[in-house]
Amino acid sequence: MAFDEELAERIRLEIGPLPGLTEKKMFGGLAFLLNGNMACGVHGDEIILRIDPEQTDAVLKTPHTRVFDLTGRPMTGWILVHPGGAKTRAALAKWLRLGVDYASSLPPK
């Protein structure tokens, strides 16, 4: 699956050169990992986020979101944000902060 290169570049510009940040092709897209833990990425034309599992239900009530489910067994703490939910820089930053904050809370791999 190809991924939206323009969205990947927007993410790079927004999260900047964080210490411990790497990129890796995953899930048919591109993932941004912080100290080895996935924070966010691009899956097709959507943003994939790894968030605090306890926030999943609340976040999924937000427009333009859905569960990330490749296998038919959705994982708590993994969501997709449709392009309509990240049209502006501020909206993109809000989503990315959720992923970066959660990845930052995890022990390095």
Residue ranges per domain, the chain? 5-105
pLDDT at 1 exceeding the cut of 70: no
Q: Give the DSSP H/E element, type plus range, for residue 15.
A: helix 5-15
In the three-class reduction of DSSP (H, G, I as helix; E, B as strand; rest coil), residue 6 is classed as helix
Q: What is the pLDDT of residue 74?
A: 86
pLDDT at 88 exceeding the cut of 90: yes
Nearest Cα neighbor of 42 from 31, 34, 53, 51 is 31
Q: What is the pLDDT of residue 71?
A: 85
| CATH code at 5-105 | 3.30.1460.30
Q: What is the pLDDT of residue 27?
A: 86
Nearest Cα neighbor of 77 from 62, 98, 97, 55 is 55
Q: Tell me: the pLDDT tens digits for 14-72?
A: 998 999 999 999 988 999 999 999 999 999 999 999 999 999 999 999 999 999 998 88
Using alpha carbons, list the distances in angstroms from residue 16 to 22, 42, 50, 91.
11, 16, 18, 16
